[in-house]
Protein backbone atom coordinates (compact mmCIF):
# COMPACT_ATOMS: atom_id res chain seq x y z
CA UNK A 1 0.00 0.00 0.00
CA UNK A 2 1.13 3.51 -0.73
CA UNK A 3 1.58 6.09 1.98
CA UNK A 4 2.29 9.81 1.64
CA UNK A 5 3.53 11.81 4.61
CA UNK A 6 3.62 15.58 4.95
CA UNK A 7 4.93 16.41 8.42
CA UNK A 8 4.49 20.19 8.33
CA UNK A 9 0.88 21.18 9.09
CA UNK A 10 1.77 24.84 8.62
CA UNK A 11 4.66 26.88 7.27
CA UNK A 12 5.41 30.59 7.17
CA UNK A 13 7.70 32.33 4.71
CA UNK A 14 8.60 35.92 4.07
CA UNK A 15 7.63 37.34 0.70
CA UNK A 16 10.40 36.94 -1.94
CA UNK A 17 12.15 34.19 0.03
CA UNK A 18 12.33 30.50 -0.89
CA UNK A 19 10.51 27.78 1.05
CA UNK A 20 10.68 23.98 1.04
CA UNK A 21 7.62 21.83 1.72
CA UNK A 22 8.43 18.28 2.77
CA UNK A 23 6.95 15.09 1.39
CA UNK A 24 8.02 11.51 2.02
CA UNK A 25 6.41 8.44 0.59
CA UNK A 26 6.39 4.70 1.00
CA UNK A 27 5.63 2.28 -1.79
CA UNK A 28 6.64 -1.13 -3.05
CA UNK A 29 5.88 -0.11 -6.62
CA UNK A 30 8.79 0.26 -9.04
CA UNK A 31 7.10 2.73 -11.34
CA UNK A 32 5.27 5.63 -9.79
CA UNK A 33 4.57 9.29 -10.21
CA UNK A 34 4.74 12.08 -7.65
CA UNK A 35 2.63 15.22 -7.90
CA UNK A 36 2.22 18.49 -6.07
CA UNK A 37 -1.07 20.38 -6.01
CA UNK A 38 -1.98 23.81 -4.63
CA UNK A 39 -5.41 24.44 -3.13
CA UNK A 40 -6.32 28.09 -2.46
CA UNK A 41 -9.20 28.92 -0.15
CA UNK A 42 -11.53 28.88 -3.19
CA UNK A 43 -11.21 25.08 -3.19
CA UNK A 44 -9.90 24.26 -6.65
CA UNK A 45 -6.91 21.90 -6.80
CA UNK A 46 -4.23 23.32 -9.09
CA UNK A 47 -1.57 21.00 -10.53
CA UNK A 48 1.94 22.36 -9.99
CA UNK A 49 4.60 19.80 -10.87
CA UNK A 50 5.21 16.11 -11.65
CA UNK A 51 8.17 13.77 -11.06
CA UNK A 52 8.37 10.23 -12.41
CA UNK A 53 10.24 7.58 -10.46
CA UNK A 54 12.50 6.91 -13.45
CA UNK A 55 13.26 10.56 -14.11
CA UNK A 56 16.90 11.23 -13.31
CA UNK A 57 16.61 14.99 -13.25
CA UNK A 58 14.57 16.96 -10.75
CA UNK A 59 11.45 18.49 -12.25
CA UNK A 60 11.12 22.27 -12.52
CA UNK A 61 8.17 24.45 -13.50
CA UNK A 62 8.81 28.15 -13.25
CA UNK A 63 9.24 29.04 -9.57
CA UNK A 64 8.49 25.45 -8.53
CA UNK A 65 11.06 22.69 -8.36
CA UNK A 66 10.87 19.21 -6.95
CA UNK A 67 13.81 17.93 -4.92
CA UNK A 68 13.53 14.20 -5.64
CA UNK A 69 15.68 11.85 -3.54
CA UNK A 70 14.63 8.36 -4.52
CA UNK A 71 16.78 6.50 -2.01
CA UNK A 72 15.30 8.56 0.82
CA UNK A 73 11.81 8.35 -0.71
CA UNK A 74 11.35 12.07 -0.51
CA UNK A 75 9.88 14.55 -3.00
CA UNK A 76 10.08 18.00 -1.49
CA UNK A 77 8.60 21.03 -3.22
CA UNK A 78 10.73 24.15 -3.39
CA UNK A 79 9.02 27.47 -4.12
CA UNK A 80 11.43 30.26 -4.98
CA UNK A 81 10.73 33.98 -4.62
CA UNK A 82 7.49 33.48 -2.66
CA UNK A 83 4.55 35.69 -3.51
CA UNK A 84 1.49 36.59 -1.42
CA UNK A 85 -0.62 34.58 -3.86
CA UNK A 86 1.30 31.44 -2.91
CA UNK A 87 -0.56 31.31 0.40
CA UNK A 88 -2.60 28.11 0.16
CA UNK A 89 -2.75 24.43 1.10
CA UNK A 90 -0.20 22.29 -0.70
CA UNK A 91 -0.74 18.56 -1.21
CA UNK A 92 1.79 15.96 -2.24
CA UNK A 93 0.29 13.01 -4.11
CA UNK A 94 1.44 9.76 -5.59
CA UNK A 95 0.23 7.00 -7.86
CA UNK A 96 1.46 3.78 -9.37
CA UNK A 97 1.97 4.25 -13.09
CA UNK A 98 0.42 0.86 -13.81
CA UNK A 99 -2.63 1.63 -11.71
CA UNK A 100 -2.95 4.93 -13.38
CA UNK A 101 -6.17 6.00 -11.77
CA UNK A 102 -5.50 5.53 -8.10
CA UNK A 103 -3.89 8.69 -6.73
CA UNK A 104 -3.39 9.21 -3.00
CA UNK A 105 -2.79 12.51 -1.23
CA UNK A 106 -0.77 13.49 1.81
CA UNK A 107 -2.36 15.44 4.67
CA UNK A 108 -1.23 18.76 3.25
CA UNK A 109 0.80 21.77 4.40
CA UNK A 110 -0.73 25.20 4.83
CA UNK A 111 1.70 27.84 3.57
CA UNK A 112 1.35 31.45 4.62
CA UNK A 113 3.42 34.10 2.88
CA UNK A 114 4.05 37.19 4.99
CA UNK A 115 4.46 40.63 3.41
CA UNK B 1 -8.76 24.20 -22.82
CA UNK B 2 -7.76 22.64 -19.50
CA UNK B 3 -11.03 23.33 -17.75
CA UNK B 4 -13.20 21.02 -15.74
CA UNK B 5 -16.56 22.52 -14.85
CA UNK B 6 -18.82 21.50 -11.99
CA UNK B 7 -22.38 22.47 -11.18
CA UNK B 8 -23.77 23.58 -8.87
CA UNK B 9 -21.10 25.46 -6.91
CA UNK B 10 -23.12 25.23 -3.71
CA UNK B 11 -25.89 22.83 -2.73
CA UNK B 12 -27.98 22.62 0.40
CA UNK B 13 -30.20 19.57 0.66
CA UNK B 14 -32.29 17.80 3.24
CA UNK B 15 -31.77 14.20 4.20
CA UNK B 16 -34.79 13.07 2.17
CA UNK B 17 -33.90 14.95 -1.01
CA UNK B 18 -32.53 13.59 -4.26
CA UNK B 19 -30.02 15.76 -6.09
CA UNK B 20 -27.24 15.38 -8.65
CA UNK B 21 -23.80 16.89 -9.06
CA UNK B 22 -22.55 17.38 -12.59
CA UNK B 23 -19.05 17.50 -14.03
CA UNK B 24 -17.91 18.16 -17.59
CA UNK B 25 -14.57 18.25 -19.42
CA UNK B 26 -13.69 18.74 -23.07
CA UNK B 27 -10.02 17.79 -22.99
CA UNK B 28 -10.57 14.34 -24.47
CA UNK B 29 -9.65 12.70 -21.18
CA UNK B 30 -10.85 9.14 -20.75
CA UNK B 31 -10.50 8.91 -16.97
CA UNK B 32 -12.78 10.86 -14.63
CA UNK B 33 -12.90 10.91 -10.85
CA UNK B 34 -15.03 11.92 -7.89
CA UNK B 35 -13.36 12.96 -4.65
CA UNK B 36 -14.81 13.96 -1.29
CA UNK B 37 -12.93 16.51 0.79
CA UNK B 38 -13.74 17.42 4.39
CA UNK B 39 -12.45 20.66 5.86
CA UNK B 40 -8.70 20.70 6.49
CA UNK B 41 -8.31 17.17 5.09
CA UNK B 42 -6.92 15.85 1.80
CA UNK B 43 -9.27 14.71 -0.96
CA UNK B 44 -10.49 11.13 -0.65
CA UNK B 45 -11.06 9.14 -3.79
CA UNK B 46 -14.65 7.93 -4.20
CA UNK B 47 -15.06 6.69 -7.78
CA UNK B 48 -13.03 6.37 -10.94
CA UNK B 49 -14.37 5.93 -14.46
CA UNK B 50 -12.02 4.72 -17.15
CA UNK B 51 -13.33 4.72 -20.73
CA UNK B 52 -16.82 5.29 -19.32
CA UNK B 53 -16.65 2.17 -17.16
CA UNK B 54 -16.51 2.24 -13.36
CA UNK B 55 -13.04 1.01 -12.50
CA UNK B 56 -12.66 1.96 -8.85
CA UNK B 57 -15.33 2.24 -6.14
CA UNK B 58 -13.73 2.97 -2.80
CA UNK B 59 -16.43 1.31 -0.65
CA UNK B 60 -18.65 4.36 -0.89
CA UNK B 61 -22.18 4.09 0.63
CA UNK B 62 -24.92 3.35 -1.88
CA UNK B 63 -26.55 6.72 -1.20
CA UNK B 64 -23.90 8.00 -3.62
CA UNK B 65 -24.45 6.76 -7.16
CA UNK B 66 -22.08 7.72 -9.97
CA UNK B 67 -22.93 7.82 -13.63
CA UNK B 68 -20.82 8.46 -16.74
CA UNK B 69 -23.21 9.11 -19.67
CA UNK B 70 -20.35 9.77 -22.09
CA UNK B 71 -16.64 10.48 -22.11
CA UNK B 72 -17.15 14.18 -21.30
CA UNK B 73 -19.73 13.98 -18.53
CA UNK B 74 -19.74 12.61 -15.01
CA UNK B 75 -22.65 12.76 -12.59
CA UNK B 76 -22.95 11.95 -8.92
CA UNK B 77 -26.49 11.19 -7.82
CA UNK B 78 -27.27 11.83 -4.16
CA UNK B 79 -30.11 10.30 -2.17
CA UNK B 80 -30.91 10.08 1.55
CA UNK B 81 -27.65 11.70 2.58
CA UNK B 82 -26.52 12.21 6.16
CA UNK B 83 -25.21 15.45 7.73
CA UNK B 84 -21.72 13.88 7.84
CA UNK B 85 -21.78 13.79 4.04
CA UNK B 86 -21.44 17.58 4.02
CA UNK B 87 -18.16 18.30 2.24
CA UNK B 88 -16.52 19.68 -0.88
CA UNK B 89 -17.02 17.29 -3.79
CA UNK B 90 -14.33 17.53 -6.42
CA UNK B 91 -14.41 16.16 -9.93
CA UNK B 92 -11.21 15.55 -11.88
CA UNK B 93 -10.13 14.14 -15.22
CA UNK B 94 -6.91 12.87 -16.73
CA UNK B 95 -5.48 11.18 -19.75
CA UNK B 96 -5.63 7.43 -19.74
CA UNK B 97 -3.02 5.12 -21.13
CA UNK B 98 -3.19 1.37 -21.00
CA UNK B 99 0.61 1.16 -21.12
CA UNK B 100 1.75 4.27 -19.33
CA UNK B 101 5.33 5.39 -19.30
CA UNK B 102 4.57 8.58 -17.49
CA UNK B 103 2.11 9.79 -14.93
CA UNK B 104 -0.75 11.95 -16.04
CA UNK B 105 -1.78 14.82 -13.84
CA UNK B 106 -5.40 15.14 -12.88
CA UNK B 107 -7.20 18.36 -13.68
CA UNK B 108 -9.72 19.36 -11.04
CA UNK B 109 -12.91 21.32 -11.19
CA UNK B 110 -13.77 24.04 -8.66
CA UNK B 111 -15.90 21.66 -6.62
CA UNK B 112 -19.41 21.63 -5.22
CA UNK B 113 -19.80 22.60 -1.57
CA UNK B 114 -22.54 20.34 -0.26
CA UNK B 115 -24.40 20.93 2.99
CA UNK B 116 -26.82 18.29 4.22
CA UNK B 117 -29.34 19.56 6.77
- % of chain A beyond a pLDDT of 70: 97
Mean of all residue pLDDT scores within chain B: 91
Average pLDDT over residues A57-67: 95
Return residues 12-71 of B near A (CB < 8 Å).
31, 33, 40-43, 45, 48, 50, 55-56
Average pLDDT over residues A23-48: 92
Residues sharing a CB contact under 8 Å with residue A25, sequence separation 6 or more, in sequence order: A2, A3, A4, A5, A34, A73, A74, A75, A92, A94
Interface test with A, best of B2, B32, B48, B105 (most A CBs within 10 A): B105
Residue A84, chain B, CB below 8 Å: the answer is no
* Cβ atoms of residues A8 and A108 within 8 Å: no
Grade residue B102 by pLDDT with cuts at 50, 70 and 90.
Answer: low
Average pLDDT over residues A82-100: 90
Q: What is the DSSP-derived secondary structure letter of residue B107?
A: E
* CB contacts, 8 Å: B102 with chain A: 33, 52, 97
Residue B98 predicted with pLDDT over 90 = no
* Cβ atoms of residues A99 and A31 within 8 Å: no
Chain A nearest-CA distance from B48, in A, is 7
Mean of all residue pLDDT scores within chain A: 93
Amino acid sequence: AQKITQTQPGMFVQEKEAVTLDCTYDTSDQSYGLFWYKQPSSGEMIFLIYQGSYDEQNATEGRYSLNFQKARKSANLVISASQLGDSAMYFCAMRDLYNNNDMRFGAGTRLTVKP
Amino acid sequence: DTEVTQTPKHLVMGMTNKKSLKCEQHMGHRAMYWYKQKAKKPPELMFVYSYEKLSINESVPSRFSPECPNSSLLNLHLHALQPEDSALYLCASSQEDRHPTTGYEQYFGPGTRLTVT
